[in-house]
A and B are shown apart, each in its own frame.
Chain A
């Protein structure tokens, strides 16, 4: 049985190489790494609001060094127009007047009060820091987690299906029906190939983007979550390949995943917007499992039990579909 599995495994690897699957994965790895290191880290910065003070008489003597002095009202207007999040303080008439562009109500109040507080800075105790991550580490972990999820759930999934459709089109399944090998080995070798390639991808993506020390620390937990997601996606990909007529039909399934599955999950998991119904979204739990692995937070055992059950159930369904397909071909 081991020999048969090895032969199938080798055949699947060759198939992926000829389908340029690995080349595509390396290409996406390079693209993601370039995006994280050259774009995202720079983009995800939000400095405190700039405060511009017009004070011709020099009445504000205690002001903080964070306040920028402007020489005229026109200069202040120009500065605010260029930096709509900035706050202007006009002290020319004796009393200080706050000028700012309208934004969200709560934020506007805070901007105004913050700007005023800079005129009379007081020494207040520094905030207590509870976590260990720096903003850059957080940004790196967050984006790496998103990209890994996207790669496995959308790009990898598409790759899996493309390869399987090719195999189906070539009549490999039909040939398999008469081969003296255990039918499950066909499915298991596929799962093993995709699992290994996804794990290798996860290792490289994590080490390149989270950093060597940080990445190595979270890697075991990340690999466990990657394995769960990879197995699920490979099984869904197999199921699509077995049930759908051709690859064109498959693009629809892919679009549904990309739009309906990923967007609400990303919004709920990464921002303060929380949907009430997100708990019913299966991808949300898988994504949170991956995210918790990156941020070294505990994952509930119920999730693992659920994931194992889901994988087993999917495997059984795929097995059924595969046998049905063999029966049809035979």
Chain B
């Protein structure tokens, strides 16, 4: 217990280390208070027209499909169409009809839209008479905003991994690791001390982040807490692995980067493309996926999936822990031999 006290003391004295844990909280506050970023305009079409070229009725008609920006000169309009970050379709009057202009590098969907816009304009009167039945979309993310909050939470949960790995690597570089080998300390004590620090701070930071971002019922909060605790534990363990496997800072940094990239990319990509079937099962190998999936399920009120994800994370905890104990017992045996 005294060892743990020293570990925590050294962390508390390191202000930058504390800041690392505060960072996700700061991002969560920023996300919460800065107002949501409107990402729904990503798939929309944008039209560029020349001032006083199209009639007000035509502009109103165009605005049904997306925002219309008027440009003073042809050069400005051409530059806007050219601009690679947007998909602006240039529209100009051509007698009774319309003509469109594109940069040619747009996705097929926008090119097709530009090609068919004059036909849509010709048939605008008939199109308004047709009945449209809009169905509620099942199982689809309301907006990309929902992905940001779980992503921040994932960063918070897995911060313990970075911290533990850096802690062990710097101990190795300073030669403390050799002293640890001869200290009267059992491997389990060592694991306990190391895991607890990363785990404690990782969970604390995630809990505060969750309190800022989510408004959940007590029952749901219990499940979220279980998700946070389990994933912080797995993260702290993975941090130990990285620390153990890397010989120096550089290698450690590469490992951490790869792990963080995987932790963030796998669940977000799965969420965006809506992975299902065997792919979703394989994704569960990355522990951040069940955590992310669980948070998404909780915010959608789907308790069954959240409970399943807690189960998967518990399995992760047991497997990673057993693996680590096995490896360190093996190492200890080699050292004593």
Contact = CB atoms under 8 A, between A and B. Distances in A.
Contact of A135 (B108, B133, B173): B108
B42 A273 contact: yes
B137 A84 contact: yes
A127 B249 contact: no
Interface in B104-147: 104-120, 122-124, 126-127, 130-138, 140
Contacts of A99: 132-133, 135
Contacts, number: 228
A249 interface: yes
Contacts of A159: 250, 253
A103 B123 contact: no
B17 interface: yes
A interface, how many residues as a size bin? 35 or more
A116 interface: yes
Nearest to B85: A270
Given A97-B131, A103-B137, A247-B170, A128 B107 contact: no
B82 interface: yes
Range, interface on chain B: 35 or more
Given A47-B109, A100-B134, A248-B14, A128 B166 contact: no
Given A124-B97, A248-B167, A129 B103 contact: yes
Given A106-B66, A133-B103, A127 B16 contact: no
A221 to B, nearest CB: 15
A20 B251 contact: yes
B5 interface: no
B108 A129 contact: no
Given A102-B135, A137-B105, A272-B85, A116 B130 contact: yes
A162 B253 contact: yes
A109 B65 contact: yes
Contacts of A95: 130-131
B257 interface: yes
Nearest to B257: A155
Given A120-B123, A122-B119, A107 B133 contact: no
Interface string A95-136: 111111111101111101110110011101111111111110
Contact of B253 (A107, A135, A158): A158
B183 interface: no
B249 A166 contact: yes
B105 A117 contact: no
Nearest to B174: A169
A25 B260 CA distance: 18
A128 B248 contact: no
Contacts of B140: 84
A305 B135 CA distance: 55
Contacts of B110: 46
Contacts of A127: 89, 99-102, 111, 114-115
A256 interface: yes
Contacts of A135: 105-108, 111
A294 to B, nearest CB: 9
Interface in A13-49: 19-21, 24, 27, 44-49
A216 to B, nearest CB: 19
B78 A130 contact: yes
Given A47-B108, A106-B64, A273-B42, A249 B248 contact: no
Interface stretch (B19-27, B185-193, B294-302): B19-27
State the 10 A-B residue pairs at the shortest beta-carbon distance, nearest first.
A131-B103, A138-B105, A124-B118, A249-B16, A48-B112, A133-B105, A129-B104, A128-B101, A127-B100, A46-B107
Interface of B: 14, 16-17, 19-20, 23, 27, 37-46, 64-66, 78, 81-82, 84-87, 89-90, 94, 97, 99-120, 122-124, 126-127, 130-138, 140, 155, 162, 166-167, 170, 173, 248-251, 253-254, 257
Given A134-B105, A163-B250, A248-B166, 17 more contacts: A46-B109, A46-B110, A95-B131, A97-B130, A98-B132, A99-B132, A110-B120, A114-B116, A130-B81, A135-B107, A141-B84, A247-B170, A251-B162, A255-B20, A255-B23, A259-B23, A297-B82
21 contacts: A19-B250, A27-B254, A80-B135, A95-B131, A101-B135, A101-B137, A104-B40, A106-B44, A109-B65, A112-B132, A117-B116, A125-B118, A128-B90, A131-B81, A132-B104, A133-B84, A135-B108, A155-B257, A259-B23, A273-B38, A273-B42
